[in-house]
Each structure stands twice: as C-alpha cells, then as structure tokens.
C-alpha cells in the first residue's frame, strides 16, 4: 500500500473550516465560573481580608472583632436557607446568582460610608454592613454551586475546582499585596481611610463585573420541576445518609475549633507584635501562595483517591499549625508557618466543599450546600465567641516546672488550644464517615507519599538513586 500524499496547508484549512470542532455547550458556563472566581478574588484579597484591619482603625474591641467574624457568617448562611426556599421565584439559577452578586457589589458602599460618617458607632456600623454583604454572598451560594456542578463530570470536579481555586488564590494574592502596599503608603501620611476607600470601592466594582459576565452566558439551564420533598426537615430525615450527617458533625466542630483562634491573628500580629500593614499583608499572602502552588495537586489527589482521604490527612495536619505560634514570634517564622497553613488549608477546604457534592443526589445539592453552610456557621459562631471569652481568662504566662512561657500576649496559648481541639475532632470523627465515590484504594502509608508536599521529595529521591546506580 502506498502512502497518501499529505494535504496542503490550504486544503487542510478548508477542511477545518468546513468541519469545525463542535463547542461543548457547557464550556461557556465553566469559563464563567473561572472568571467569576477571579473577580471575586479581588474582592476577597483586597477587601474582605482587610475588614478586620479597618475595624481596628475604628478602635474595635476584641469582642467586636469576634462579632465581626461570627455574626455576618451566621446570618449569611441562614440566607442560604432562604435562597433555596425562594429559588422558584427566579426564572433560573443564573438569575438568582445575578441578583445576589448585585447585592454584594452595592454592600461595599455602606461598609465604607456608614462607619466614616458616624465614627462613634463605627465598629457596629461596620458589622452591620458586613452582615449585609455576607447575606448577599451566601444567598448566591446554593444556586452557584448547583449551577456549576451540573456542568462537571463527578471525576473532574476536583481538578476544576482546584483550577478555579488556584485562579482565586493568585488573584487574591495580587489584590492582597496591592492593597497592603496602598495602605502602607497612606499610613505614612495618616490617611488610612483614603486607602480603605480605594480598596473597598474596587472590590464593589469587581463584583459588578461578575454580574455583567453572567448575563453573557446563555447556556445555563432553567429550573426543572421535580417531585422530591422541598422542606429542609424532610431532606434531613429522608434525603441524607448517616455518612453525610457524620461528615456535617466533623465539619461543624472543626470550624468551631479553628475559629477559637481565627479572628485574633490580626490582633496578635498588628497590636501585640506591632507588625506594619505590609508585614501583615505578606503574612496573609504567604498563606495564599501556599494554596496556589498546591491546589492542582490537591485536585488530582481528590479525583483519584477521594475527598475522605484528603480530609483525613489535612484534618490531622492542620491541628499542629496554630501550635507553632508558641515556638517563635519572629516575622519570617510566622510567614513560613502561614505558607504551610495555606498548603494544608487548600486541601482541607477542597475536601470539605467537594464531599458535599458527592454525598447527596444532584437535585438536592442546593439544600446540602445550605445545610453544610449552616452547620459550619454555627461552629464558626461558637468558636469565635468562645475565643473572645478565653482572651479575658487565659493568663499571658505559664510556668510548668522548668518550662517558662511568656509570649507577647496570651493569644498564642489560645492558638495552641485551638490546635489541640482540632486534633481531638479529627481523631474522634474522621473514622465515622466514608468516601461516597468509587475511587482508587491505597493504604494510608502509601497514600502519604502522594501528598503534594511529599510527592516531589519521592520523585527527587528516586531520581537521585537512579543517578547513583
């Protein structure tokens, strides 16, 4: 048989245009999910991350900082219940997401304006504005997650959400650093309020851009009627398994343990250690960078070995991170710790989100997301309130025989307690629920070397061994 001559470049071009590759109808929706994440990240890195710093500018107390962290989240997750209940009021999930994003955009105006107009009530007015913002943010969450998840195959969710989270991480990092530099410049001239004005208005404009983007996507489906129970009590009684209930308990208690320390890192770094805003911004940026470099690997791990395996390793490791704040208060050490915190939280957050999608029927994902968020918010609120109460009760020095611990304040002891509680939650509850998908099975000892921060060491070790043979 003789070879056929290759077609000319001109004829190949004609063939390509006469038989174009069909475009996946879901591709525009997937692209929107990535682009929305990018603009949302600017609002997070340049806006949300500096809300606590803005509260300190308004002379907020530790109790008000804990309320700022807890109440908006708690109110916001109740908004998810309302969102699911009234979803039939909207012609589509995309329409519901659109109006929620509009609300987020507009909310940045009272967040900024009200505390500056009435500074004597500034912290409480800030809390009010942030509560409205998070109510709008959470209002979109069930519809957004259901909308995007319908466009994805179950075995590609980990990779897609890891890719989206990576875009969010790097964009948030850039927004965070830019905002930190901007605030440092205005801080030198005692004009911090101008810096906050610029970054908060930028955050609002970026959310408006997401609203414009979603209007350009025409392939999102309309609401489809179904005959499953619509009430949350019916869903909890008949629509979820014991597996999912145990997962909710783990997730809620883990959030409670984490938030005992969470709201007070800004207090420790800015007031106790007297770091500048650029040093604080670098500390936050290190965590985001840790997420960025490992999210693709965590996504592959999740798709291949399951979200339960992901939660097992990250849930245990995350317990030791806050304990390290007792070791040293050197700035570079704390930045390094937060970098590894970003590495671990990238996997833990991905596992907590994706497990919900796998554990329930597709038609119930909106309810499952709302219920999971409610449980996490309750844990969030309990943790922050407990942490604020502990600040006034835990001593700032501890003497145990020859051991003498005297950090800059008592907050590192609270961080250590948070880590201890995380460890107890992980040890007692991780064994009570299981993977919901069919995934590759391996012993934990072998899975350990598939973790993103250990797998490169294994490859390097093998390469070194082969070179010496």
Summarised one tens digit per residue, pLDDT across range 26-52 is 677 778 888 888 888 888 888 888 888
The CA-based dihedral angle spanning residues 341, 365, 138, 382, taken in that order and rounded to the nearest 10 degrees: -60
DSSP state of 20: P
- The residue assigned the tokens 């040293």 is 328
Q: Determine the average pLDDT of the residues in 386-390.
A: 89
Judge whether 467 lies within some domain.
no
Which alpha helices (DSSP H) does 215-276 contain, by range?
232-234, 242-259, 265-267
Token pair for 13 = 């071009």
| Domain membership of residue 209 as a residue range | 26-221+232-461
Q: Which residues contact 349 (CB under 8 A, 6 or more apart)?
A: 165
From first CA to last CA, the distance across the chain in angstroms is 47
Look at 71 and 354; give whichever has higher pLDDT: 354
Q: Determine the average pLDDT of the residues in 53-73.
A: 81
Which pLDDT score, from 0 to 100, does residue 333 have? 96
The CA distance from 3 to 427, in Å, is: 65
Which pLDDT score, from 0 to 100, does residue 20 have? 46
The CA distance from 467 to 290, in Å, is: 30
Per-residue pLDDT reduced to its tens digit, 93-102: 788 888 889 9
CA angle, corner 211, sides to 41 and 158, nearest 5? Answer: 50
**SS3 annotation, 122-135:** HHHHHHHHHHHHHH
Q: Determine the average pLDDT of the residues in 225-252.
A: 71
Answer whether residue 5 shows pLDDT above 80.
no
The CA distance from 410 to 122, in Å, is: 27
Q: Which residues contact 343 (CB under 8 A, 6 or more apart)?
A: 290, 291, 293, 294, 452, 453
Judge whether 466 lies within some domain.
no
Judge whether 16 lies within some domain.
no
Judge whether 429 lies within some domain.
yes
The CA distance from 444 to 250, in Å, is: 20
User: Residue 314 — pLDDT band, cuts 50, 70, 90?
Assistant: very high
Q: How many other CB atoms sit within 10 Å of the CB of residue 400?
A: 7
Q: Which residues contact 431 (CB under 8 A, 6 or more apart)?
A: none
Which pLDDT score, from 0 to 100, does residue 220 have? 64
Q: Determine the average pLDDT of the residues in 128-152.
A: 84
The CA distance from 165 to 302, in Å, is: 14
Highest mean pLDDT among 141-155, 208-222, 340-354: 340-354
Answer whether residue 325 shows pLDDT above 50.
yes
Look at 284 and 16; give whichever has higher pLDDT: 284
Per-residue pLDDT reduced to its tens digit, 183-201: 888 887 778 888 889 999 9
User: Residue 235 — pLDDT band, cuts 50, 70, 90?
Assistant: low
Answer whether residue 236 shows pLDDT above 70.
no
Judge whether 295 lies within some domain.
yes
Look at 332 and 219; give whichever has higher pLDDT: 332
Which pLDDT score, from 0 to 100, does residue 238 have? 64
60-74, 238-252, 270-284, 419-433: which range is least confident on average? Answer: 60-74
146-160, 303-317, 328-342, 450-464: which range is least confident on average? Answer: 450-464
Q: Which residues contact 237 (CB under 8 A, 6 or more apart)?
A: none
pTM of the model: 0.69
Q: How far is CA 338 from CA 27, 81, 202, 345, 352, in A?
A: 35, 33, 26, 10, 20
4-13, 240-249, 288-297: which range is least confident on average? Answer: 4-13
**Pairing mode, strands 403-405 and 398-400:** antiparallel
Which pLDDT score, from 0 to 100, does residue 11 have? 41
The CA distance from 325 to 200, in Å, is: 31
The CA-based dihedral angle spanning residues 244, 246, 249, 254, taken in that order and rounded to the nearest 10 degrees: -100
Helix (H, G, I), strand (E, B) or coil at 243: helix
Answer whether residue 457 shows pLDDT above 50.
no
Highest mean pLDDT among 67-71, 407-411, 413-417: 413-417
User: Residue 232 — pLDDT band, cuts 50, 70, 90?
Assistant: low
Q: How far is CA 182 from CA 9, 38, 196, in A?
A: 53, 20, 9
The percent of residues above 90 in pLDDT, for the chain, comes to 24
For the residues of 276-344, what is the DSSP string, one character each?
-HHHHHHHHHHHHHHHHHHHHHHHHHHHHH-HHHHHHHHHHHGGGTGGGGGT---HHHHHHHHHHHHHH
Which pLDDT score, from 0 to 100, does residue 317 have? 94
Judge whether 283 lies within some domain.
yes
User: Residue 251 — pLDDT band, cuts 50, 70, 90?
Assistant: very high
Which pLDDT score, from 0 to 100, does residue 164 have? 85
Answer whether residue 215 shows pLDDT above 50.
yes
Judge whether 320 lies within some domain.
yes
Structural domains of the chain, count: 1
Which pLDDT score, from 0 to 100, does residue 22 have? 47
Answer whether residue 224 shows pLDDT above 60.
no
The CATH code of the domain that includes 64 is: 1.20.1250.20
């Amino acid at each position: 048989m003789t070879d056929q001559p290759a077609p000319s470049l001109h004829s190949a071009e004609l063939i390509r245009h006469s038989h174009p590759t069909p475009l996946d109808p879901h591709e525009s929706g997937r692209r929107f999910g990535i682009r929305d994440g990018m603009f949302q990240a600017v609002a997070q890195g340049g806006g949300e991350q500096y809300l606590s710093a803005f509260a300190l500018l308004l002379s907020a107390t530790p109790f008000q900082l804990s309320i700022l962290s807890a109440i908006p989240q708690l109110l916001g997750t109740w908004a998810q219940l309302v969102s699911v209940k009234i979803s039939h009021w909207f012609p589509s999930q995309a329409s519901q997401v659109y109006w929620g994003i509009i609300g987020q955009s507009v909310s940045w105006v009272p967040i900024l304006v009200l505390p500056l107009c009435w500074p004597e009530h500034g912290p409480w007015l800030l809390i009010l504005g942030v509560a409205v913002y998070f109510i709008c943010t959470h209002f979109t969450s069930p519809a957004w997650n259901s909308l995007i998840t319908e466009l994805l195959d179950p075995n590609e969710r980990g990779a897609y959400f890891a890719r989206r989270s990576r875009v969010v991480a790097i964009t948030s990092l850039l927004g965070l650093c830019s905002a930190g530099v901007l605030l440092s410049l205005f801080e030198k001239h005692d004009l911090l309020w101008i810096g906050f004005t610029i970054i908060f208005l930028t955050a609002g404009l970026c959310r408006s851009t997401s609203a414009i983007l979603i209007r350009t996507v025409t392939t999102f489906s309309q609401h489809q009627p179904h005959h499953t129970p619509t009430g949350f009590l019916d869903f909890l009684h008949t629509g979820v398994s014991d597996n999912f209930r145990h997962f909710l308990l783990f997730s809620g208690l883990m959030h409670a343990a984490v938030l005992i320390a969470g709201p007070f890192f800004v207090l420790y770094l800015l007031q106790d250690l007297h770091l500048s805003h650029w040093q604080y911004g670098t500390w936050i940026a290190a965590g985001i960078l840790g997420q960025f470099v490992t999210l693709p690997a965590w996504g592959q791990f999740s798709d291949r070995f399951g979200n339960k395996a992901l939660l097992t390793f990250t849930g245990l490791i995350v317990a030791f991170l806050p304990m390290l704040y007792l070791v040293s208060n050197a700035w570079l050490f704390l930045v390094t710790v937060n970098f590894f915190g970003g590495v671990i939280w990238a996997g833990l957050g991905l596992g907590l989100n994706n497990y919900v999608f796998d554990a329930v029927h597709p038609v119930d994902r909106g309810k499952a997301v709302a219920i999971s968020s409610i449980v996490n918010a309750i844990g969030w609120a309990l943790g922050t309130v407990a942490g604020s109460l502990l600040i006034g009760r835990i001593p700032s020095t501890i003497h145990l025989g020859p051991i003498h611990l005297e950090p800059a304040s008592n907050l590192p002891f609270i961080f250590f307690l948070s880590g201890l509680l995380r460890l107890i939650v992980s040890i007692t509850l991780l064994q009570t629920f299981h993977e919901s998908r069919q995934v590759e099975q391996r012993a934990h000892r072998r899975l350990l070397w598939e973790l993103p921060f250990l797998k490169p060491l294994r490859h390097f070790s093998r390469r070194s061994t082969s070179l010496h043979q």
